[in-house]
Amino acid sequence: MILLNNAATASADVKLPWRRKFGWATGDFAQNLIYTTISTYLLFFYTNVYGLPAADAATMFLIVRLIDAINDPIVGTFIDKHTTRFGKYRGYLLYMGLPLAVMAILCFHVPNLGQMGKLIYAYVTYVGLSVIYTTVNVPYGSLNAAMTRNNKELVSMSSIRMALANLGSLTVSFGVPVFVKLFSGGHYSGAASQTGWFLTMVLYGIAGALVLVFCFSQSVERIHMPADTEASVKVSDLFHQLKINQPLRTLAIFFIITFGLMSIVNSVGAYYMTYNAHNAGLMQWYNLLGTLPAFITVPLTPWLNRKFVPRS
């Protein structure tokens, strides 16, 4: 957490030009080009294209989530205790954007290995992707609070962010099956579709990395953590806060349930259209339905904030 004195608070309570807010918000669009592709289609790819047994793929997904639970607070603490040449948070968008894209692309590559070799390769690439994603997502999520402490500006930034995040999800949910079909000659499953999935991830990975560079170029950190606060940050701080902070525990449980349900809903579409509807070619339309409501609700966020959040 960034602590400010009165003078710093006054200088931090600034309004940002729209291009700065939009530029920062493009970071979530970029991450969703990669993250939503992984969360929506990677399990289907592993079982129907890569050739992993469903039990092995499901076990791997569970293990990666457990690794995330350990890795995320460690990465967050490291970021809080160190500052890059470009600032505490924004530098990671530049440094880790390309590695994130490369690991995502490698996840959709089918190596010429035996079954055990392919399983090990899947573990290495998926765990690597998850760790690198954390080094982008955690600092990005903190970057807006280092740009301004004006509550109206933060709400506005979050609204633009959510709109672009949902646009990124829409671009993936609808676009990935279209490109896979285009690059693979009409196939979604089996060896015939391997090239289609790989080239599609190359396309989305490169696009995501380039947009992260744009986000980096448009974001400016104005608020900095005091040196004594930075030095005192520890991994155990998170667990201490969870122990004493009831709202934080409630929020943590909410996000665990929400993202768990999102993972299930996102990944089930390709299977449903393939095995229940018997028409994999319609999976983009099925996935489209899940993203449309957000384009109605997200623009209402600033109005809801003004109406229901009490003013001090």
Can you tell me the distance from the alpha carbon of 275 to that of 211, in angstroms, rounded to the nearest whole number? 36
Whole-model pTM?
0.85
Neighbouring residues of 300: CB distance < 8 A, sequence distance ≥ 6: none
Q: Is the pLDDT of residue 2 over 50?
A: no
Q: Does residue 4 form part of some domain?
A: no
Q: Is the pLDDT of residue 1 over 50?
A: no
Q: What's the structural domain count of the chain?
A: 1
Q: Does residue 93 form part of some domain?
A: yes
For residue 204, name the pLDDT band (cuts at 50, 70, 90). Answer: very high
Q: How far is CA 81 from CA 89, 92, 147, 246, in A?
A: 11, 14, 18, 26
Q: Which pLDDT score is estimated for 55? A: 94
Domain holding 252, by residue range, is 16-308
Q: What is the pLDDT of residues 290-310, one digit of tens each?
A: 777 766 766 666 666 666 666
Q: What is the pLDDT of residues 128-137, one digit of tens each?
A: 999 999 999 9
DSSP assignments along 262-291, one per residue: HHHHHHHHHHIIIIISS-GGGHHHHHHHHH
Q: Does residue 290 form part of some domain?
A: yes
Q: Does residue 283 form part of some domain?
A: yes
Residue 171 and residue 34 in contact, taking contact as beta carbons nearer than 8 Å:
no
Q: Which of the two residues, 223 and 256, has the higher pLDDT score?
A: 223
Can you tell me the distance from the alpha carbon of 240 to that of 226, in angstroms, rounded to the nearest whole number? 21
Q: How many CA atoms lie within 13 A of 230 on its CB side?
A: 11
Largest CA distance in the chain: 64
Q: Which pLDDT score is estimated for 59? A: 93
Q: Is the pLDDT of residue 5 over 70?
A: no
Q: Is the pLDDT of residue 9 over 50?
A: no
Can you tell me the distance from the alpha carbon of 41 to that of 44, in angstroms, rounded to the nearest whole number? 5
Q: What is the pLDDT of residues 11-53, one digit of tens each?
A: 567 788 999 999 999 999 999 999 999 999 999 999 999 999 9
Q: Is the pLDDT of residue 235 over 70?
A: no
Q: Does residue 295 form part of some domain?
A: yes
Residue 41: give its domain's CATH number.
1.20.1250.20
Q: Does residue 5 form part of some domain?
A: no
Q: Which pLDDT score is estimated for 151? A: 84
Q: Which pLDDT score is estimated for 230? A: 58
Q: Does residue 105 form part of some domain?
A: yes
| DSSP bridge partners of 84 | 87
Q: Does residue 2 form part of some domain?
A: no
Average pLDDT taken over every residue of the chain: 85
Q: What whole-number percentage of the chain has pLDDT above 90?
A: 45
